[in-house]
Amino acid sequence: MGKKKSIKREIIEWGIFFGIIATLYLTGLHTPVLGFMQGLILKTGIIKPSIEKESDIRASYSFTLVDQYGEHVDFKNFKGETVFINIWATWCPPCIAEMPDINNLYHELKGENIHFFMISMDDDFEKAKKFVDKKGYDFPIYRLGSMMPEVFHSKAIPTTFVISPKGMIVVKKSGMAKYNTEEFRNYLKELGD
d(CA 107, CA 126): 24
Domains and CATH numbers, the chain: 1-193 (3.40.30.10)
- For the stretch 9-43, pLDDT in tens is 777 666 665 555 566 566 665 566 565 655 555 66
Query: 141-144 and 114-120: which strand pairing?
Result: parallel
pLDDT for res 191:
86
What is residue 193's predicted lDDT score, i.e. its pLDDT?
Answer: 67
* Spatial contact of 48 and 178, defined as CB atoms under 8 Å apart: yes
pTM attached to this predicted model: 0.78
Interval 102-120: pLDDT, tens: 999 999 998 888 999 999 9
What residue spans of the chain are helical by DSSP H? 2-27, 30-43, 93-108, 125-135, 182-192
Distance CA 164, CA 149 (A): 17
Model confidence at 79, in pLDDT bands (50, 70, 90)?
very high
* Among the listed residues 158, 146, 169, 165, the one whose alpha carbon sits nearest the alpha carbon of residue 60: 169
